[in-house]
Amino acid sequence: MKSLPEAPIRGADTPFYATPLAVWGIVALWGLAHLFLRAMSTPVLGTDDMFENVLVQTLEPGYMLRQPPLYEWLLWSAQQVFGPTIWSALFVKYCLISVAALFLFLIARKALENPRLAALCAFSYSLYYQFGWNLHEGVTHTVVLTTACAASAFFFIKALDTGRLGFYLLFGAVAGAGLLGKHSYPIFVVALVLAALSDGAWRAKIRLSGLVLVPVAAAIVYSPYAVWILTEGLQLFASVSKTMGVASETSHIARVGEGLGKLAFGLLGFSVILVPVLLLIFWPRYLGRKEPATLAVNDVARLCGRTVLAMVLLTAVMIAITGATYVKERHMHPLMLLLPIYLFADLERFGFDRQWRWLATIVIATVAVVFLARVPGLAAPDKFWCGGKCRHMKPYADLKSPLEALGAGEATLVADDGYTGGNLRVLFPGARVVTDAIPARVPPREKCFFIWEEGDKRPDEPADQRYKEVVFGKTGEPVSVEYLTGSWPHLWKEDGWRTTWWGVAELGSNEALCR
């Protein structure tokens, strides 16, 4: 078998696993494996997914000012096939990730001579903690953002390479999708353009007529949400500023210092474990102990590196201007997205052999370990295996029979928190689900229930007394109040080893909470 860095001629002796179809297929199968592991183990919606499940009871041009609606549109579409279940959320997530991997591979093929290394580069994204582990239980809009950024970079490179206006239009259309994915997306487009303008080789290829088409195509794609924003009023900045932490009584300088500090820690945290592994395996290159075969990386790799640098600098400048403090490691996807491609292209110049095999082994081992590491938390959801909350295994299913007997299947279900609300919709697809944070867009029903979670122990107070404490006088006297309980599953512990209690109050259909 030939070693990884061989096949210097582009396109020559390309193995099947290093073709676009195979890379997409391998990542899709990886996603399918995690999809079945999660969905077959528990139907409970986890972080972010539960909130979205309440939100997409109807298809709307916009849902909230804090986040654009493309993810919700995709989730609503998937739910027409799979229902409001974990299957829909996971299907959308892993489809998007496989598409992102395909575009990242296509960029890597232009940045690296060896197709094997390009494939390994795409697979190595699983060494990023936020890709290899965290996205399995969280992440919604960020997956759309990641896919849009990967596709944007590819079509931008194709537009500059070929000069064809069609690729500029595609770049613009994807940019519109990115704008519909997350409000932070425009920074990535600006970084791409600045990276190209800063490089003489790319600057000469830019067609002004093509650049003019980009905002036109983006505006057409973005227009449904733009109209919705105008009808909602100019509240977007206030919403975003509150989320980003710029509306604060703290001094601007203090907020800037906090924001830049979080940016630095976020970049370091996001790099784990991929960048440390590359530094460790390829240490001769980084300590100057090995001579390169070529003086510099090619134009595409250089553009990727400059885009990463531009992203970091632009983010730092925006923090300095706005004083934003809501900066987390899980926000670094667009900043660090093209870094592996640049690093792989740089390392390719040094002709390593065994080191690439070691890296491939580490990638395969990490993927296997991560998959197996998820099993105990699904089979034995106690503190030792999955931490204290283990929300993805909470026994919401035990609520179905008693609530169904009360007539909850077609009723209005007012949930005290997003986790309960999202998972009630899994149990009762025909119900109208409402939470404090999410107003319902479907008509009220004849019956109405207020449901709140009490925790792992049955409360000492009677159910009607606890209900009054929970609602804080928001409603009148309930028709009836009672406690319901569910028993957590466990592979070897007896039934009832851990329980969760909920309170259920039937309300009059004319109550404010029910309308």
Q: Checking DSSP bridges between strand 448-455 and strand 432-435, what pairing results, if any?
A: unpaired
Q: What angle do CA 250, 252, 258 make, to 5 degrees?
A: 75
What is the Cβ-side half-sphere exposure of residue 435, based on CA atoms within 13 angstroms?
A: 22
Closest CA to 406 of 511, 484, 487: 484
What's the burial of 379, exposed, middle or buried (CB within 10 Å: 0-12/13-18/19+)?
middle
Mention every residue, 6+ apart, whose C-beta is less than 8 A from residue 70. 141, 144, 177, 180, 181
Helices and strands per DSSP (H, E), number in the chain? 23, 5
DSSP letters for 189-206: HHHHHHHHHT-HHHHTT-
Per-residue pLDDT of the chain (515 residues; tens, 9 = 90+): 334 444 343 444 789 999 999 999 999 999 999 999 999 999 999 888 999 999 999 999 998 888 999 999 999 999 999 999 999 999 999 999 999 999 999 999 999 999 999 999 999 999 999 999 988 877 899 999 999 999 999 999 999 999 999 999 999 999 999 999 999 999 999 999 999 999 999 999 999 999 999 999 999 999 999 999 888 755 555 555 555 555 556 788 988 888 899 899 989 999 999 999 999 999 999 998 888 888 889 999 999 999 999 999 999 999 899 888 888 888 889 999 999 999 999 999 998 889 999 999 999 999 999 999 999 988 988 877 876 678 888 999 999 999 999 999 999 999 998 899 999 999 999 999 999 878 778 888 999 999 999 988 888 899 888 988 888 777 778 899 999 999 999 989 998 899 999 999 999 888 888 87
Looking at residue 4, its pLDDT comes to: 43
Q: What angle do CA 193, 197, 198 make, to 5 degrees?
A: 120
Give bridge partners of residue 415 from the DSSP assignment. Answer: 435, 451
Looking at residue 231, its pLDDT comes to: 83
Looking at residue 375, its pLDDT comes to: 92
| Domain ranges for the chain | 17-373, 394-514
Helix (H, G, I), strand (E, B) or coil at 315: helix
Question: How many Å apart are CA 118 and CA 123, to the nearest integer?
Answer: 9
Closest CA to 333 of 48, 169, 96: 96
Question: How many Å apart are CA 144 and CA 446, to the nearest integer?
Answer: 38
pLDDT single digits (tens) 279-315 = 999 999 999 888 888 888 999 999 999 999 999 999 9
Question: How many Å apart are CA 445 and CA 432, to the nearest integer?
Answer: 7
Looking at residue 240, its pLDDT comes to: 52
Question: How many Å apart are CA 149 and CA 335, to the nearest integer?
Answer: 10
Looking at residue 143, its pLDDT comes to: 95
What's the burial of 468, exposed, middle or buried (CB within 10 Å: 0-12/13-18/19+)?
middle
Q: Take residue 408 and report the two structure tokens written for it.
A: 């909850």
58: left (phi over 0), alpha (psi -120 to 50) or beta: beta
Looking at residue 238, its pLDDT comes to: 53
Is there a contact between 165 and 209 (Cβ–Cβ < 8 Å)?
yes
Looking at residue 429, its pLDDT comes to: 95
Looking at residue 3, its pLDDT comes to: 41
Longest C-alpha distance within the chain, in Å?
80
Instruction: Report how far apart, in Å, the C-alpha atoms of 405 and of each of 400, 410, 414, 459 are.
Output: 8, 11, 17, 23
Looking at residue 437, its pLDDT comes to: 79
Looking at residue 103, its pLDDT comes to: 98
pLDDT single digits (tens) 434-450 = 998 787 788 889 999 99
Looking at residue 6, its pLDDT comes to: 42
Phi and psi angles of residue 108, each rounded to the nearest 5 degrees, phi first: -60, -35
Looking at residue 256, its pLDDT comes to: 87
Q: What angle do CA 236, 239, 243 make, to 5 degrees?
A: 135
